[in-house]
Amino acid sequence: MRLVVVAPHPVSYQASYLRALAAAPGIDLLVLSAPGSKSNSSAVDPGAAGADPVERSVALSFVPIEGLESTVTDPGEADATSASEIRELLRGTKAEVLLLLGWCSRLAAQLVRAARRLGMPVLLRAEVTDLSSHSIWTRLGDRRFLRRMAGVLSVGKASRRYCVASGVPSARLFDALFAIDNSLFAAEADRLRPQRNELRRAWQVPGDGFCILFAGKLQAKKRPLDLLDALEQARRTRNDLRLLVAGSGELEPDLRERAKERRLPVTFAGFLNQTEMPRAYAAADALVLPSDAGETWGLVVNEAMASGVPAVVSDRVGCREDLVEDGVTGFSFPLGDTRALAACLTSLAADPIRAAAMGEAARQLVLSRYSIDRAVAGSVAALEKLLGR
């Protein structure tokens, strides 16, 4: 079957998923990108009166992805901005199904409208959860948008619940859970294990210290300041706790100032790309992700767990119900409750052997159940159902 995929920005995890999907038997895959589009968790109703279906600054074009030979060879010839151009671009692909990765506001609405006029079924990967307080207008818009889909791929339990609550029939709802290239991180963890002490020294982490890792952009939705507050509390009983911050962002000056004022042992490693992150996981004893509900999943949790590192997450992080089993693969705590987070840190540091066992349990969980191969299998099952095969 020929499948055309639209992704606002084909980031690393999407590229891995698309390469695997393209390699599935019987799949001929084309990728379209809209680098100028504004990604939005809330959809725009394609049938809404007066809706401006696409921003004129957005160009939709074929893009090559490394290792994906089924993309077109000349990406420069396929730009489209207007409604008619988008419809003709889709028609020219001769695709049987349109797959949307995420919701792209007006652009998504125009794509759906164009596909429906062409009789092309649309499959949506719903990167959304029911963990945030959506306004009634957002819920109504999402409900209308989701019910226009021929099929919906949920990325986790919170995503599936939101889709069900939005009226997606069970017959049109499939699972394609968020996943990463587990083999890459697992192999790097094994390779780097003998270098653990050396890596820790490079980041000023003592060999006998308990290293907490924060990985991600230093922005409000990820609540890194909560982690500093919790670290200060936890160190009153566990002064072996250390924090390694892998990331950069607008809150970095505030974090540095607070860490200095409170004399907290925090190392700022700066931004680390995907090839560098395995070193941080090898140095860490646990990952902490204190984000609010804007964290629709949290792929750093997958990465850490594939590396054998347990995770502590807030109860508003999208992957919590799927990946974090309290006391087994990590811990969860109420969003913003720094005292509860401090208790999680203290519990882990008090028993490093148990923490390591939790890391191994986490690794086995993601390797066995949260793989790109399983996500692709769910996607292919949905595609076959849509086409009656």
| Residue 318 CB coordination number (10 Å) | 29
Are the C-beta atoms of 20 and 372 separated by less than 8 Å?
Answer: yes
Same fold, 2-179+371-386 and 182-369: yes
> Distance between CA atoms of 1 and 25, rounded to whole angstroms?
9
In CATH, the architecture of 2-179+371-386 is 3-Layer(aba) Sandwich (3.40)
| Phi-psi region at 141: left, alpha or beta (left = phi > 0; alpha = psi -120 to 50) | alpha
Q: 243: closest CA among 254, 176, 143, 256?
A: 256
Whether the pLDDT of residue 17 is over 50: the answer is yes
Question: Regarding the domain with residue range 182-369, which homologous superfamily does it belong to in the CATH classification?
Answer: Glycogen Phosphorylase B; (3.40.50.2000)
- Mean pLDDT for the stretch of residues 64-76: 44
- Mean pLDDT for the stretch of residues 272-289: 97
Q: Confidence band (pLDDT; 50, 70, 90) for 50?
A: very low
Whether the pLDDT of residue 368 is over 50: the answer is yes
Residue-range domain boundaries for the chain = 2-179+371-386, 182-369
> Distance between CA atoms of 275 and 308, rounded to whole angstroms?
17
**For residue range 201-221, what is the model confidence (pLDDT) as tens digits?**
999 999 899 999 999 999 999
